[in-house]
Chain A
Amino acid sequence: MNIFRMLGDLSHLISIFILLHKMQTSKSCSGVSFKSQVLYLVVYVFRYLDLFTNPFMSYYNTLMKIVFIASSAYTIYLMSTVFKPTHDPAIDTFKIEYLLGGSLVMALLFPPKWTFMEISWAFSIWLESVAILPQLFMVQRTGEAETITTHYIFALGAYRALYIPNWIWRYMFDKKAKLETIAVVAGLAQTLLYSDFFYIYWTKVMKGKKFQLP
């Protein structure tokens, strides 16, 4: 554990909190991509299958995994029941079949090991790297986003971006660390996908302006 990893995980928790808070207070999930949320649930379920099989890592690890799966499922539940009338499927039209298919192909081509668990882990890593696309696509379609939604996207992007200095730290100082090539490559790709968003967030939202595409 190092400061970057800790801040990254904290940022992930904050993003979940912001999203739930936005929905609860505005009684609406408008501007939030249901498809991205479904992809995240798929990501956590496939990645954390090891909750039931692998040797115990740490209380921290187990607790976070449960929090991510549970909060993701709860978000889907809210969006498909209570706040369903506020979701507009007509602007949430990204074809997630390609993301699911592409991630599966990558996982089958380069699995860390040829086991079901390792293939599903790799699948979840690739899928996570692109799971934000339906959300970004939705923002692009509407040309703007509520400030609270941009805070959510920023915190979620910052989580993986902070994993990058974490990997560098581990590579340099942690003798026991095993760096996972797939996670690093996918993590870099994921951060790259956010770069445009980060730029607009930084130049507009941070200066108190509305998030609006040029």
Chain B
Amino acid sequence: AEKVEGHDEL
């Protein structure tokens, strides 16, 4: 799985 930077929740 690709690594996503940052926070995906609000």
Chain A contacts to B: CB under 8 angstroms: 5, 9, 12, 50, 54-55, 57, 61, 64-65, 68, 121, 163, 175-176, 178, 180, 183
Contacts and interface: CB of A to CB of B under 8 A. Distances in A.
Given A9-B10, A64-B10, A163-B9, 13 more contacts: A54-B5, A54-B6, A55-B4, A55-B5, A55-B6, A57-B4, A57-B6, A61-B10, A175-B1, A178-B4, A180-B7, A180-B9, A183-B9
A122 to B, nearest CB: 10
The secondary structure that dominates the B interface is loop
B1 A50 contact: no
A65 B6 CA distance: 14
A5 B1 contact: no
Contacts of A54: 5-6
Contacts of A55: 4-6
Contact of A61 (B1, B5, B8): B8
Nearest to A159: B10
Contact of A68 (B5, B6, B8, B10): B10
Nearest to A182: B7
A197 B1 CA distance: 41
B7 A121 contact: yes
CB-CB nearest 7 A-B residue pairs: A54-B6, A176-B1, A50-B6, A64-B10, A57-B8, A55-B5, A54-B5
A7 to B, nearest CB: 13
A9 B9 CA distance: 10
A12 B7 contact: no
B9 to A, nearest CB: 7
Nearest to B9: A183
Contacts of A65: 10
